[in-house]
Amino acid sequence: MRIHQYEKLWIVGAMILIVGFIVTITYGSVGLGITMIGDEEETIAPDELNDDEQFGEPRVEQVGENEYAAYVVAQTFIFQPDPIEIPANNEITFHVTSRDVIHGFYVPGTNINAMAIPGQVAELTVEFDEPGEHGLICHEYCGSGHHTMEGLIVVQPEDEFDLTELSAETPDTVTSGEQVQLNATVENGQLEPLETTVDAEIGDQTFQQNITVDGNSTQDVTFTAESTQLGVGEHDWTVTVDDYEETGSVEVVSNETAAAEGGEES
Amino acid sequence: MTALFVDEYPAEARLVKAAFLSSFIAFGIGALFGIIQALHRTDIFRFIDSIKYYTVLTGHGVFLVIAFTIFFLVGLYQWAVTDSLERGSVDIRFTWLWYGLMAIGSLLAGISILAGFLDQPPMVLGSELRANVLFTFYAPLEANPLYYIGLALFLVGTWLAGIDWFRTWWAWRDENPGKRIPLRTFMVLTTMIMFFLGSIGVIVSILVFILPWSLEITESLNPLLTRTLFWFFGHMIVYFWLLPAYLLWYSVLPKLSGGRLFSDPLARVVFILFVLLSTPVGIHHQYMDPGIAEGFKFIAMTNTMFLLLPSFLTAFTVVASMEHGARQRGGEGRFNWLRALPWRNPAFTGMALAGLIFAFGGFTGIVNAGMNINYLVHNALWIPGHIHAQVGTATALTLMAGSYWLVPQLTGNRLVGRQVALFQVVLWFVGIVFMTNSMFRAGLVGVPRRTAEPQYQGFDYDVGVGSMGELNAQLALGGTLLFISAMLFLVLMLLTVFNNDSEPIVDGTLPPALSGPEDSPQVLDNLRLWFGIAFALVVLAYALPLAGIAAQSGLFGQDIQPFPVSSEAVIYFQFGLEYVGAFVT
Amino acid sequence: MGSRVSREIGHDEYDPWGTLSLIVVYFVALTLMWLFTYFVEFVGNTPTVMGMIVPVMLG
């Protein structure tokens, strides 16, 4: 073949460019540690998501020291959970699947970018250095409401982040003379034990108890007030643990009323 | 001056004109849909529902990248084969058969898309007539079966066109034993080998999985499998759009420049490289997909990077051919010869500007192909920026410029409005610079593609330089200029067709290359060999990923329900509520 | 529309040094744009998907 000398020169130049691009990308993978979404995750049928241990309740959970997993379900036209709350300076592994059609999982302004394909689970690990809020959008056309499909990722300062959940309850009514029991449950989703204080108020009575909730477990606390001291009537109660607060009310009824009601019923 | 094409091959000229007519009709509708989108998504002027935007978007894609480009391709290739072999079709009825299939196919697909504008579409084949699924039709989004049938017929027609050109070549070979394949025919045949091989993916996807599923013959499909089969076809098809432009750059552009093609052998090498490499790279559209191992993505990336080579070679050969023309016209100096080029000729200027955009658009393609850097741009507005630079300008502007040269030879009429034509191609260039500049920059700050309203509640884009308003204005301005340019082109074509009683001033002869086919080894013309190697490369690149996908969740997936994209949003919310309900309980 | 050829130049006497110059410019432009897009636009666009450090299970 007769090839002009300049053209031979350019073929060499073109090969240098091509190899240079490949080398840069390989450096990105090996040197900078940027990985591609792969096929490591098990597949999951969309109609079995509700029964799935992880996607049945889309959530964030701690899986190791400074490591969290976020199970995210994309579906027309929402993301679950929403918002997704995660700590800064920790490794977050998103596991993303779709319940129906192909969706996108994209955080504009970052390199967080994945497809959510029904049947498949995309796995991607990232770490946010700064607290802040980021939009999460679907960037693959998924139907008529596609442009409304957005969620929120809230990155909290590491020391303010927890996976604590508080629930509390009392009976609706208590007969005067009996005890008013306020049952609070503190759940610690993190791996480290949670040492904290539970504060409670029932009417004008206050309670306080220090507790230690082990990692990934729950602890029940019960506060007891004497209904006679509270008096007949409606009483508000509040339970607080760290920044969490539950409120409700309990009604103390007099013996006569209780008896009358009991009488009516029988 | 030799006889005009229309006088020498009137029967073939009729077919080429019919193909161009179909192409230009599709171009007109597609361009109209384009400006609607440019104004809608920037929120500058909205007169349709955002739900209907996706009907417009589907139409824009299908009418432009399927109908406009491929109808033009078959017309151009029919001309190229006939003119370079100096013989007509073996059987012109067969030629009209494939054109007819393509026309019917595009009508069916077109009607099913346009029905999306109706508030109450008619029921056809057991479901509402609509196809708001975009040209990529990712299942489980579901269109009316008519849409898939239309696409399938169109593909079958294109296959038959390829077979027709091979028959013409075989007949010529028997009449001219031992001769090298003329360059333009070589380009046509290699393009079609590439198409035969690459379109297997989408044909299997439609005929085996999606169509039976949309007709409720099969109950489920594997969305990752149909998506992968689409992209098996999907990157080959971008070269199918591009190679007609390459054919014009290699054969017509040197002549327009006043010179000769620099190297015929390298042109052949370039087309062979496209045959070999344009299919085993499709996975680079799926870098962000789960279910495909990183290793396969890496292989697709390296293949794609080597696919740059034919385009890099083209850059040199074509520019050197232009320089040859400029030097023959008296051009001097290192860069001053550029001034000696025939910039007043719209056919030349259009192709040259298209090539310039292609050189930059090629860079954006490198970014798309760059595996991990794809995180930056995947499904961002950058991607349509790339598409509009490449198929929307490198191809479309070259085809328009080529029409200014070719249509007079097909009609025997003089081109109307040469000055306007020059203005038109420059206007397209200006329009695309504004529009793609906006798209690239907006894509880099995270604005997504394929959405009616890229304005969200929860966050604002962090535009480093400039502002969203400025980016939107550029996009809308660019889109408007492109639309005006497209309409000007169509008007000039229409006037030319009716410009009877005129003599075209165009010379249809193409000079031989400076370095002719005799400078290249015979093996370049061994099409069986190249097909064999290409086939092996495709098997190497795709056998394992496809087997892996099928093994993970089955050929037919795990009970994947169809999601008909209705013009009503209501059913989605019903689905959504059902699922949310399931959580609560 | 004549191409107004003022001289004939054959393959061996033709020296496409103008093309070579343009190609060199293109080479440099591609290299610079690539480095900028990769190392500034992409690597700076954090967070980026990184390899997960596989937790070592003890016991």
Which site among A32, A92, A96 would you substitute to test the C interface, given the most C Cβ atoms closer than 10 Å to its Cβ? A32
Residue A219, amino acid: Q
Tokens of B380: 């961002």
Q: For position C9, what pLDDT does the model report?
A: 87
Interchain pair C52, A37: CB under 8 A = no
Helical packing angle, B145-175 and B183-204, nearest 10°: 150
Residues of B whose CB is below 8 A from C38? 370, 373
pLDDT band of B557, cuts 50, 70, 90: confident
Encode chain A (266 residues) as per-residue pLDDT tens digits. 788 999 999 999 999 999 999 999 999 999 999 999 999 899 999 999 999 999 999 999 999 999 999 999 999 999 999 999 999 999 999 999 999 999 999 999 999 999 999 999 999 999 999 999 999 999 999 999 999 999 999 999 999 999 999 999 999 999 988 899 999 999 999 999 999 999 999 988 999 999 999 998 999 999 999 888 888 999 999 999 998 999 999 999 987 776 666 544 44
Residues of B whose CB is below 8 A from A99? 579
Whether residue C53 is predicted with pLDDT greater than 70 in this model: the reply is no
C-alpha pair distances (Å), B382 with each of B41, B84, B266: 15, 39, 32
Across residues B403-408, what is the average pLDDT?
Answer: 96
Average pLDDT, chain B: 94
Q: For position A258, what pLDDT does the model report?
A: 65
Interchain pair C48, B335: CB under 8 A = no
pLDDT band of B2, cuts 50, 70, 90: low
Residues of A whose CB is below 8 A from B370? 21, 24-25
Helix, strand, coil percentages (3-state) for chain C, rounded to 5, are 45, 0, 55
- Do A115 and A221 reside in the same domain of the chain? no
CATH code of residue B73: 1.20.210.10
Interchain pair A118, B223: CB under 8 A = yes
Residues of C whose CB is below 8 A from A24? 34, 38
Which site among C49, C53, C58 would you substitute to test the A interface, given the most A Cβ atoms closer than 10 Å to its Cβ? C49
Beta-ladder partners of A186:
A166, A219
Q: For position A259, what pLDDT does the model report?
A: 67
Nearest by CB to residue A34, choosing from C11, C20, C48, is C48
* Interface residues from chain C to A (CB-CB < 8 Å): 11, 16-17, 19-20, 23, 27, 30-31, 34, 38, 42-43, 45-53, 55
Whether chain A has a CB inside 8 Å of the CB on B560: the answer is yes
- Do A156 and A215 reside in the same domain of the chain? no
Which site among C7, C9, C12, C32 would you substitute to test the B interface, given the most B Cβ atoms closer than 10 Å to its Cβ? C9
d(CA B227, CA B140): 10
Report which of B288, B552, B283, C45 is spatially closest to residue A37, judged by C-alpha positions: B288
Interchain pair C49, A67: CB under 8 A = no
pLDDT band of B280, cuts 50, 70, 90: very high
Whether chain B has a CB inside 8 Å of the CB on A117: the answer is yes
How many Cα neighbours within 13 Å face the side chain of C39? 10
| Chains adjacent to C (≥3 CB pairs closer than 8 angstroms) | A, B
- Do A243 and A174 reside in the same domain of the chain? yes
Which of A160, A179, A213 marks a domain boundary?
A: A160
Supply the ipTM of this predicted assembly.
Answer: 0.94
Across residues B502-523, what is the average pLDDT?
Answer: 89
- Do A110 and A172 reside in the same domain of the chain? no
The answer to whether residue B2 is domain-embedded is no
Nearest by CB to residue B446, choosing from A2, A108, A146, is A108
Q: What is the pLDDT of residues B129-170, one digit of tens each?
A: 999 999 999 999 999 999 999 999 999 999 999 999 999 999
Q: What is the pLDDT of residues B298-322, one digit of tens each?
A: 999 999 999 999 999 999 999 999 9
Nearest by CB to residue A117, choosing from B223, B450, B519, is B223
The residue in chain C having the minimum alpha-carbon distance to the alpha carbon of residue A40 is C52
Helical packing angle, B418-444 and B382-389, nearest 10°: 160
Beta-ladder partners of A179:
A226
Q: For position A265, what pLDDT does the model report?
A: 45
367-396 of B, contacting A, C-beta below 8 A: 370-376, 378-380
d(CA A128, CA A91): 8
| Chains adjacent to B (≥3 CB pairs closer than 8 angstroms) | A, C
- Site of tokens 């559209």: B285
Domain that holds residue A27: 1-34
Report which of B414, B480, B539, B395 is spatially closest to residue B72, judged by C-alpha positions: B395
- Do A72 and A142 reside in the same domain of the chain? yes
Residues of B whose CB is below 8 A from C41? 376, 444
The answer to whether residue B429 is domain-embedded is yes
The residue in chain A having the minimum alpha-carbon distance to the alpha carbon of residue C38 is A24
Contact B477, B434 (CB under 8 A): yes
Domain that holds residue B201: 8-572
Which of A133, A160, A187 marks a domain boundary?
A: A160
d(CA A263, CA B20): 92
How many residues are given for chain C?
A: 59
Alpha-carbon dihedral sign for residues B415, B420, B423, B424? negative
d(CA A141, CA B224): 15
Give me the residue spans of the domains in chain C: 16-46
- Do A16 and A106 reside in the same domain of the chain? no
Interchain pair B324, C4: CB under 8 A = no
Backbone angles phi, psi at B446, to 5 degrees: 105, 10
d(CA B4, CA B411): 9
Residues of C whose CB is below 8 A from B505? 1
The answer to whether residue B20 is domain-embedded is yes
- Do A99 and A171 reside in the same domain of the chain? no
| Chains adjacent to A (≥3 CB pairs closer than 8 angstroms) | B, C
The residue in chain C having the minimum alpha-carbon distance to the alpha carbon of residue A91 is C52
Q: What count of CB pairs under 8 Å joins B to C?
A: 83
Q: What is the pLDDT of residues A146-161, one digit of tens each?
A: 999 999 999 999 999 9
- Do A63 and A89 reside in the same domain of the chain? yes
Interchain pair A50, B293: CB under 8 A = no
48-87 of A, contacting B, C-beta below 8 A: 48, 50, 57, 75-78, 80
| Burial profile C15-48: b = 16 or more Cβ within 10 angstroms, e = fewer | ebebbbebbeebbeebeeebeebbeebbbebbbb
Beta-ladder partners of A211:
A196
The answer to whether residue A198 is domain-embedded is yes
Report which of A195, A235, A169, A37 is spatially closest to residue B295, judged by C-alpha positions: A37
d(CA B397, CA B27): 12
Neighbours of C59 (CB within 10 A): 2
Greatest Cα pair distance, chain A, in angstroms, is 113
d(CA A228, CA A205): 12
Interchain pair C43, A32: CB under 8 A = yes
Whether chain B has a CB inside 8 Å of the CB on A3: the answer is yes
Neighbours of C55 (CB within 10 A): 11
Interchain pair A100, B305: CB under 8 A = no
Whether chain B has a CB inside 8 Å of the CB on A27: the answer is no
Residue B127 DSSP symbol? E
Nearest by CB to residue B335, choosing from C4, C5, C21, is C21
Q: For position A256, what pLDDT does the model report?
A: 76
The answer to whether residue A265 is domain-embedded is no
Q: For position B575, what pLDDT does the model report?
A: 52
Which strands, in side-by-side order, build the sheet including A233-241? A173-175, A244-253, A233-241, A194-202, A205-213
Interchain pair B359, C26: CB under 8 A = yes
Residues of C whose CB is below 8 A from A126? 47-50
C-alpha pair distances (Å), A253 with each of A171, A174, A235, B75, B349: 12, 6, 11, 91, 93
Interchain pair B291, A4: CB under 8 A = no
Q: What is the pLDDT of residues B448-505, one digit of tens each?
A: 999 999 999 999 999 988 999 999 999 999 999 999 999 999 999 999 999 988 888 8
Whether chain A has a CB inside 8 Å of the CB on B579: the answer is yes
Of residues B27 and B508, which shows the higher confidence score?
B27
Q: What is the DSSP string of chain A?
A: ----HHHHHHHHHHHHHHHHHHHHHHHHHHTS-B----S-SPP--GGGGGG-TTTSS--EEEEETTEEEEEEEEETTEEESSSEEEETTSEEEEEEEESSS-EEEEETTTTEEEEE-BT--EEEEEE-SS-EEEEEE--S--STTGGG-EEEEEEEPGGG---EEEEEE--SEEEBTBEEEEEEEEEE-SSSPEEEEEEEEETTEEEEEEEEEPTTEEEEEEEEEEHHHH-SEEEEEEEEETTEEEEEEEEEE-HHHHHHHHHHH-
Contact B276, B533 (CB under 8 A): yes
Contact A83, A107 (CB under 8 A): no
Interchain pair C34, A35: CB under 8 A = no
Beta-ladder partners of A196:
A211
Residue B515, classed as helix, strand or coil, is strand
Nearest by CB to residue B323, choosing from C18, C26, C38, is C18
The phi-psi region of residue B124 (left if phi > 0; otherwise alpha if psi is between -120 and 50; otherwise beta) is: beta
The answer to whether residue B581 is domain-embedded is no
Interchain pair C47, A127: CB under 8 A = yes
Of residues B89 and B570, which shows the higher confidence score?
B89
- Site of tokens 């385009």: B311
Residues of A whose CB is below 8 A from C34? 20-21, 24
CATH code of residue A214: 2.60.40.10
Tell how strand A67-75 and strand A91-98 pair up: parallel
Backbone angles phi, psi at B193, to 5 degrees: -60, -45
Interchain pair B316, C30: CB under 8 A = no
Domain tally, chain B = 1
- Residues B541, B544, B548: CA angle, nearest 5 degrees: 135
The residue in chain B having the minimum alpha-carbon distance to the alpha carbon of residue A4 is B263
Domain tally, chain A = 3
